[in-house]
Structure 1
Amino acid sequence: MAKINSCLKCLFVFFNIVFAIIGCLLIFGAVKASVYSLQLSALGAPGLGWMWVFAIGVLGISCLGIYAGISEKELALKIFAGFMAAGMIIMLIFGIVVLVMRNKIRQSFGEASSQVAESFMGDEGFRSFLDQLQEGGQCCGLSSAGDWGDRIPDSCRCRPGLDGFGGFGTFGHSGCRDKPAGSTGPDKIYQQTCGQLLISVSDFLFNIAMGLTFGFAITAFLGLLATLLMIHQVRRHQRAGASNMAMKGY
């Protein structure tokens, strides 16, 4: 005789299978990203160790949940509930950290954009990166077109007839403007700076990260509630079985 409600059990196992698949996809992504880990580390990005830990953790805990749901063993359910509680707390902490980092990056870049640009523009590798970013991102300069001095590169060239409606912009860039006085290069350049583009992209990525962390926290909370309910049903079944045995013995 089943100890747990069949609908709750099927739903519990189904969601753990979904998260096991997500864990496998995260591991696959970590394998693919490891090819570029050396280049990312050279740019100061964090290593991929955290991604491996998270991916393996999601897969392992999901497999534990599948086993606990199918076997209906109280000990396995208790262990899974403990992981859900710990995961909920960790995801909440990560979400708060991501939120603080987003605000700090936005504030620091907004307050010291010219100083940041001056320090970065001295690096030839960054100048090459910015030149490529301008062409694809439809922007000019890090904080302003003046970051390039009196020689504006051709990647800043803006074509109102093709990229915008009369220079008022389209989806992708904010329009065109005249080049700074006394500088050489294209007459019309992109009005949007690459710093604004990078802030927009970082905000987008941080918002995705916050959505994932808080989403996982809510999911862990719901998983914890479902597990506690299943433990209660298992205990009730055990008490009922013990009562029946006692009555038979009597």
Structure 2
Amino acid sequence: MTLDEILASLFPQGHDVATDQGVVRGTGSLRSGGRMLVIGVSDRKAIGIDEAIRLSAEVMGSLENGRGPILVVVDSDSQRMSKRDELLGLNEYLSHLAKTLLYADLHDRPTIGLLYGHTAAGAFLASAMATRVLVGLPGAEPVVMDLPSMSKVTKLSIDVLKDKAKSTPVFAPGLQNMVEMGAIQVLWNDATPLSEQLESLLTSLPGPADRRDELGRQHGGRLKAADIAERVHDLALQRS
């Protein structure tokens, strides 16, 4: 689905969402009443400092002037790895974007990510993964790290990584692997109205506590993360 088709299906009552150089901003009318802030990235735009600060400003501004849930639509490249962006502190800008979404979610503005295209690396973490619930649409292409980059970091050959990816979702790109790891909590059906699926999700949103590690354990994609997190938490409480 294109972004225009997605927005029309999500908000049959109307919306004023527009795209400016890959940055998505606006609001949509919910079937149950009220409006939903919509931000995000389209057209496989890389997120640099300019995009990150614009999106952050939209979130923070909405805390002062609005209410209701926030939808983050994502079809991005990775973060923009230019010399300019890196020298100006791209990591801090991406961190700031993630923090604004987390802050909003903790202050009665539940956040939902909608991954409908590509995304990768820091851009993935700072946008889609910073939301309370991440939804995937058929055809989405999430990649935490592509195999050539992973090969450079791990010093393992691409052939070895491809073989590991067959049985270990952590090594593999793709929508279903992200579901198995617990990163994507919900898959929507693009053959039925998205507005109905959105309303259903809004009425059954989990609390803001991040339990993606537990989902990963349940789905068989991350068997150790939840146990380790629980042990670290227990040890921290003992020492305090």
Q: Same fold (TM over 0.5)?
A: no
Structure with greater contact order relative to length (CA < 8 Å, sep ≥ 6): 1
Structure with bigger helix share is 1
Query: Which of the pair has more CA radius of gyration?
Result: 1
Indicate the TM-score class for this superposition, using the shorter chain for normalisation. under 0.3
* TM-score (norm: length of structure 2): 0.21
Structure with bigger strand share is 2
